[in-house]
Amino acid sequence: MKTKEIIRKAQKFADSFRVTGGKKFRLKDFDPANTLGIKSEFKPRAKEALAVGVQALADFQDKLYAQDKWAVLLIFQAMDAAGKDSAIKHVMSGVNPQGCDVHSFKTPSAEELDHDYLWRCMKVLPNRGHIGIFNRSYYEETLVVRVHPDLLEKQKLPEPLITKKIWAQRFEDIRHFEQYLANNGVVVRKFFLHVSKKEQKRRFLERIENADKNWKFSASDTAERGHWDEYMAAYEDMIRNTATEESPWYVVPADNKWFTRVIVAAAVIETLASLGLHYPEVGEEQRQQLAATKARLLKK
C-alpha cells in the first residue's frame, strides 16, 4: 500500500474518535465496544492492517529523528485493564528504541510530592526528534486525585490554595502547559482507552483465573472499580476541559483490543503525517564534500 493511501485510511479511522473541542463532549456518545461495524471475523485483516501501520509509523519516526525538530508526546490514560500497556507495546513495536521513550507515572514519591505536580513530567518530556510516551500522566491530578480528594492533602499544598476552584485551575494550567509545548514544537496527543465496566470485570476475572496473568492483578484495582461512576464523570470533565485543536483527545473504544490498537496506530500515523516530515536536505557544499570523499574512498 502506498504511504498516501495508508495516511488516508489512518485519518478515516482516527477521525471518528478525535475530540478537539470539549464543550459538546459527552462520554455516553462513545461506545466502548464500537468497531465501526467491523466484525470480529475481520480480526486477521485488522492485524494485517496494523502491521502495515506499524511499518509506516517506523518510517515516519526515522524522519522525525533525522530531522530533529519536532517532538511527539503521546499520553495514555485509562481505567485498569483497559489495555494501555498492550496498546503501547503493539503500536510502538516497529519503532527504533533510540528515538522513543516510555515513562509510567505511579503514586508520587516523597520527592515528587515536594514539588508542583508537573515537575516529574516536565523532567522527562521527549527530546526533539523523539516520541515520548506517558503511561498515565499529570492528568491523574484531575482523575484519581479528584475521586480521592484526601490525596490533595498529601500534596503539601498551602491550605488557602485548596479551594473548590482547584479542578478548574488545574484544567486551565494544563491547557496552558500544552499550548506552551505546542508553541515549542512538542506535539501532544492524548488517548483515553475507553473500556466498559463489564469488560473490565471479564479481564480482572481472567487475570485471577489464568496463572500467567496473576501478576497483573492487584486488589486495589477492584477497589477503584467501586468508584466507576465518579471516574467516568472525572474523565468526561477532563476531556471537556482539555480537548483542543492543537492537543486533541482520542476517545478510543477499548472493549476489543484488536480495534484499540488499530485506532491508536491510526491516530499516531495521522499525527506524524501532519508534520510534513522529511529527511534533512544536503546543501551544495556538503554535496561536493560527499563527492570528494567518495572519490578518495574509491582510490584506496
Identify any residues that bridge with 78 across adjacent strands, giving them in sequence order. 193
Number of residues that bind Mg ion (CB under 5 A): 1
Query: In angstroms, what is the minimal distance from the CB of 221 to Mg ion?
Result: 5
| β-sheet with 131-135: strand ranges across | 18-19, 249-253, 186-194, 71-78, 131-135, 100-104
Query: In angstroms, what is the minimal distance from the CB of 107 to ligand ATP?
Result: 4
Distance of CA 161 to the CA centre of its chain: 30
The window from 9-17, 61-69, 77-85, 175-183 that contacts Mg ion (CB under 5 A) reads 77-85
Which of 108, 126, 129, 248 touches ligand ATP (CB under 6 A)?
108
Under the criterion CB under 6 A, does residue 218 sit at the interface with ligand ATP?
Answer: yes
Which of 106, 164, 278, 300 touches ligand ATP (CB under 6 A)?
106
- Quick note: the x/- pattern for ligand ATP over 113-132, rule CB under 6 A, is --------------------
- Taking the least distance from each CB to ligand ATP, the nearer of 64 and 81 is 81
Q: Distance (Å, rounded) from C-alpha 38 to C-alpha 169?
A: 41
Q: Distance (Å, rounded) from C-alpha 188 to C-alpha 180?
A: 11
The window from 26-34, 140-148, 255-263, 278-286 that contacts ligand ATP (CB under 6 A) reads 140-148
The window from 33-41, 73-81, 143-151, 255-263 that contacts Mg ion (CB under 5 A) reads 73-81
- Taking phi first (over 0 means left), then psi (-120 to 50 degrees means alpha), and beta for anything else, what does residue 83 get? left
Cell 557544499 identifies what position? 285
- Taking phi first (over 0 means left), then psi (-120 to 50 degrees means alpha), and beta for anything else, what does residue 174 get? alpha
Buried b (16+ CB within 10 A) or exposed e, 73-95: bbbbbbbbbbbbeebbebbbebb
Applying CB under 5 A, the residues found at the interface with Mg ion are: 80
Binding site for ligand ATP (CB under 6 A): 80, 85, 104-108, 135-136, 140-141, 144-145, 151, 218
